Structure 1
Amino acid sequence: MFYDRAKIYVKGGDGGNGCVAFRREKYVPEGGPWGGDGGRGGNVILRGDEGLRTLVDFRYQRHYKAGRGQHGRGKGMHGRWAEDLVIRVPLGTVIREENSQQILGDITTNGQEVVVARGGRGGRGNARFAGPQNKAPAMAEKGEPGEERQLILELKLLADVGLLGYPNAGKSTLIARVSAARPKIADYPFTTLTPNLGVVSLGEGESFVMADIPGLIEGAHGGAGLGHYFLRHVERTKLLVHVLDGAGTEGRDPLDDFRVINRELALYNEALAKRPQLVAVNKMDLPGSEENLAHIKSELSGGYEIFPISAVNGAGTMELMHRVYDLLKELPVPELWPVESLETVHRAEPQFNIHREDDELVVTGREIEKHVAMTDLDNEAAVDRLQRIMQVMGLEKALRDYGAKNGDTVRIKDLTFEFVE
């Protein structure tokens, strides 16, 4: 089965906790703090692999979590960093964050990597907090939680040429004739239910990849037929070959089919309708094809190169393939996503936000939640430090301005406390 879309959950590893330890050795009185830092959690990385063809693996496993860093230890020993979790994906995979719809990466080359969830940094041991005012700190940080995300993976096939045309126009027969691809072929519409890739070889060092895109009928851009699922696979192609049923079997008009398919391309993506096209008039071995060919040439010859072929007996197919190869050498690779859209945009986020839920004042924000998560709430010294951080951030004043009164319940993630003036 061909899977070209998947939804997965990824989480970077949590950082290891810092250690609270003191040097206790003979002849070393009041040795001081000696706790090491925790190790960084592992990143979750997607890596392109040319050996994969579909996203089927993500049908069976949807949750991926990197390991956490090792905790710090005494004698100033820092925890070991966790290994990154590397997930292999096929070339042509576009990575999108589900909530924001931001594109995180577009994997097009073998070995290309995209970090989709970063591991948290390790917490600092008590040796880091020693100073003139506090020579023996009895607190350490907990590890920072790793990033977590819901991702949408979309596979867009990497092919040089895309075959377009109505069902039963002969696309599968053509790709089987000129390449080693062996798609299912039968005399009824929608025989092809998945995209087929074939490598067309014209000699040593002269080859290109052709994709048979199924399911294009009127209304395909909105979900009719199978086009809603497979139009995305045309986006990366440099050149389109539009296969027409020259014999007009089933009473169809080849020119009407041509106009309908191109209208669907424009409705789906305006740039696709402007992509270079060659017209292959197929089934020239059948009665009525010569008359249709003359009509097609009279209508389209001004704007398109037209090639009469028979995919069944091979007539005209190699002339078409050589012309395709010549054009591919001249055409630039289409840019699927502008470069700037793939760069991470760092927007200034407020340190916290306040809103009311029932009888609670709820404080949210990445910065404040991180400080809470990295605080050992069972350690009095650590809680005192958290209070000082909140004060410096201006949380107390903000709560007062929001209307907080003595005794109001305030919640920050898993921490709940009473507001006291």
Structure 2
Amino acid sequence: MSGTNFIDYVKIHCRSGNGGAGSRHFRREKYEAKGGPDGGDGGRGGHIIVRGNKNLWTLLHLKYKRHVKAGHGEAGSGSRSTGAEGEDAYVEVPLGTVAKDPETGETLFEITEDGEEQILVKGGRGGLGNDHFKSATNQAPRYAQPGEPYQEAWRILELKVLADVGLVGFPNAGKSTLLSVLSAAKPEIANYPFTTLVPNLGIVEYRDFRSFVMADIPGIIEGAHEGKGLGLRFLRHIERNSVLLFLIAADSDDINKEYQTLLNEIKQFNPELLDKERILAISKSDMLDDELKTEIAQDMPDVPWMFISSVAQQGLMELKDVLWKKIND
């Protein structure tokens, strides 16, 4: 996914359909000139419906289609005939998309399964025909309900990447390199901060033809939960990962302190993220000798950890074993 093609936030204007009016028809036949009321109901207006599509990875297709309209319901007619429903308008989205009300910030729903459908904006209900209003004291009602009007609203669609494992770390920790080695993904890799500007997904092959999905989340910096750096724009992607893999470079001044800083940014953003399984990998470990590894091991945080090297292909199978176990626990 190139930076220009990955869109994870759109605001769209939705207008559902009017409900059709109920009919005020009376039965008129050859031998019954003054039959009773038989007006049918109006059809409901079309809904705006969000539908999950596993083949989509971005909201790019909605970037230039900001207005979505549904069809109007048709009026009822005689012989208790109900009017046709308005045509629903479908908005296809990737799995992991969240719909929100921009005015209140309320989360309306999340789409997590292929083919899952949720109504974003309801169409107006069709009006009842005069057949519904007849009674012993009013056998010829000459009124029917009008259809309900359409609803009009702005809605936010926000993508949270769905992955089994999310890579968490400061810029230049080696996340993109690790993803490129473990999977067929080809993220941009360079030795400067924020090389990764969009989440990259990769399929990691495991034993016996099994696999899992790993996401390289753009680098976090201290203060990210306040919007610093790439901040809030990408922290939300971590919410959809089953396991968080913290990556800290072996040449870090203080690995434990760096881990606690990352953990604090996640906690400040959403405390519930601390309930996720966590693993710590010390990257670029090919530059360490046994003595340095022993020294580093004496001051590690209370979390499963290991030394790895993407370039030297060290500890990667062991890492996949641990990740697979955590994913399936």
State TM-score, norm by structure 1: 0.71
Runs of 4+ more than 4 Å apart: 288-292
> Aligned AA for 1:325?
W
State how far apart, in whole Å, the 1-side matches of 2:221 and 2:175 are. 14
After TM superposition, the structure 1 = structure 2 runs for residues 344-355 of structure 1, keeping only pairs within 5 Å, are none
Q: Shift of residue 145 of structure 1?
A: 1.9
Report the 3-state secondary structure (helix = DSSP H, G, I; strand = E; otherwise coil) of the residue aligned with 2:206.
Answer: strand
Q: Shift of residue 108 of structure 1?
A: 1.1
Equivalent residue for 1:163, pick from 154, 167, 187: 167
Q: 1:324–1:127: structure 2 CA closer, same or farther, 3 Å change rule?
A: closer
1:186 paired residue number: 190
Q: Shift of residue 23 of structure 1?
A: 3.6
Q: Shift of residue 25 of structure 1?
A: 4.0
2:273 paired residue number: 272
After TM superposition, the structure 1 = structure 2 runs for residues 240-279 of structure 1, keeping only pairs within 5 Å, are 240-248=244-252, 252-279=253-280
Q: 1:222–1:130: structure 2 CA closer, same or farther, 3 Å change rule?
A: same
After TM superposition, the structure 1 = structure 2 runs for residues 81-160 of structure 1, keeping only pairs within 5 Å, are 81-160=85-164
> Aligned AA for 1:324?
L
Report the 3-state secondary structure (helix = DSSP H, G, I; strand = E; otherwise coil) of the residue aligned with 2:92.
Answer: strand
1:232-274 CA-partner distances (Å, limit 9, x unpaired): 11112222211111134xxx54444323212211211223235
State how far apart, in whole Å, the 2-side matches of 1:180 and 1:140 are. 63
2:300 paired residue number: 300
> Aligned AA for 1:283?
K
State how far apart, in whole Å, the 2-side matches of 1:236 and 1:316 are. 26
Q: 1:324–1:23: structure 2 CA closer, same or farther, 3 Å change rule?
A: closer
State how far apart, in whole Å, the 2-side matches of 1:40 and 1:26 are. 33
2:285 paired residue number: 284
State how far apart, in whole Å, the 2-side matches of 1:105 and 1:277 are. 27
Q: 1:137–1:327: structure 2 CA closer, same or farther, 3 Å change rule?
A: closer
The percentage of counterpart residues that share the same residue type is 46
> Aligned AA for 2:323?
V
Larger Rg: 1
Which structure carries more relative contact order (alpha carbon 8 Å, separation 6+)? Answer: 2
1:309 paired residue number: 308
State how far apart, in whole Å, the 1-side matches of 2:238 and 2:29 are. 71
Equivalent residue for 1:232, pick from 236, 240, 248: 236
Q: Shift of residue 201 of structure 1?
A: 1.0
Q: Shift of residue 300 of structure 1?
A: 0.8
State how far apart, in whole Å, the 2-side matches of 1:325 and 1:25 are. 74
Report the 3-state secondary structure (helix = DSSP H, G, I; strand = E; otherwise coil) of the residue aligned with 1:160.
Answer: strand
State how far apart, in whole Å, the 2-side matches of 1:321 and 1:120 are. 52
> Aligned AA for 1:226?
L
After TM superposition, the structure 1 = structure 2 runs for residues 213-228 of structure 1, keeping only pairs within 5 Å, are 213-228=217-232
Do the aligned residues in 2 keep the contact of 1:246 with 1:292 (CA within 8 Å)? no
> Aligned AA for 2:278?
Q
Q: Shift of residue 221 of structure 1?
A: 0.7
Report the 3-state secondary structure (helix = DSSP H, G, I; strand = E; otherwise coil) of the residue aligned with 2:203.
Answer: strand
- RMSD after superposition: 2.2
State how far apart, in whole Å, the 1-side matches of 2:268 and 2:292 are. 27
Which of 11-20 and 133-142 deviates more? 133-142
Report the 3-state secondary structure (helix = DSSP H, G, I; strand = E; otherwise coil) of the residue aligned with 1:136.
Answer: coil
Alignment size in residue pairs:
325
1:171-198 CA-partner distances (Å, limit 9, x unpaired): 0000000111110111211111001111
Report the 3-state secondary structure (helix = DSSP H, G, I; strand = E; otherwise coil) of the residue aligned with 2:285.
Answer: coil
Do the aligned residues in 2 keep the contact of 1:297 with 1:306 (CA within 8 Å)? no
Do the aligned residues in 2 keep the contact of 1:120 with 1:143 (CA within 8 Å)? yes
Report the 3-state secondary structure (helix = DSSP H, G, I; strand = E; otherwise coil) of the residue aligned with 2:262.
Answer: helix
Q: 1:272–1:27: structure 2 CA closer, same or farther, 3 Å change rule?
A: closer
After TM superposition, the structure 1 = structure 2 runs for residues 364-379 of structure 1, keeping only pairs within 5 Å, are none
Report the 3-state secondary structure (helix = DSSP H, G, I; strand = E; otherwise coil) of the residue aligned with 2:279.
Answer: strand
- Unaligned 5+ residue runs, structure 1? 331-421
Which of 215-224 and 40-49 deviates more? 40-49
Instruction: Kindly indicate whether residue 38 of structure 2 is the aligned counterpart of residue 38 of structure 1.
Output: no
Report the 3-state secondary structure (helix = DSSP H, G, I; strand = E; otherwise coil) of the residue aligned with 1:204.
Answer: helix
Do the aligned residues in 2 keep the contact of 1:22 with 1:32 (CA within 8 Å)? yes
> Aligned AA for 2:140?
A
State how far apart, in whole Å, the 2-side matches of 1:128 and 1:272 are. 54
Instruction: Kindly indicate whether residue 22 of structure 2 is the aligned counterpart of residue 18 of structure 1.
Output: yes
State TM-score, norm by structure 2: 0.90
Instruction: Kindly indicate whether residue 328 of structure 2 is the aligned counterpart of residue 324 of structure 1.
Output: no
Which of 95-104 and 172-181 deviates more? 95-104
Q: 1:60–1:180: structure 2 CA closer, same or farther, 3 Å change rule?
A: same
Do the aligned residues in 2 keep the contact of 1:247 with 1:292 (CA within 8 Å)? no
1:306-327 CA-partner distances (Å, limit 9, x unpaired): 3222111212212211121122
Report the 3-state secondary structure (helix = DSSP H, G, I; strand = E; otherwise coil) of the residue aligned with 2:211.
Answer: strand
State how far apart, in whole Å, the 1-side matches of 2:292 and 2:61 are. 46
1:356 paired residue number: none
Q: Shift of residue 291 of structure 1?
A: 6.2
> Aligned AA for 2:309?
S
> Aligned AA for 2:270?
N
1:57 paired residue number: 61
State how far apart, in whole Å, the 2-side matches of 1:292 and 1:2 are. 41
Q: Shift of residue 132 of structure 1?
A: 4.0
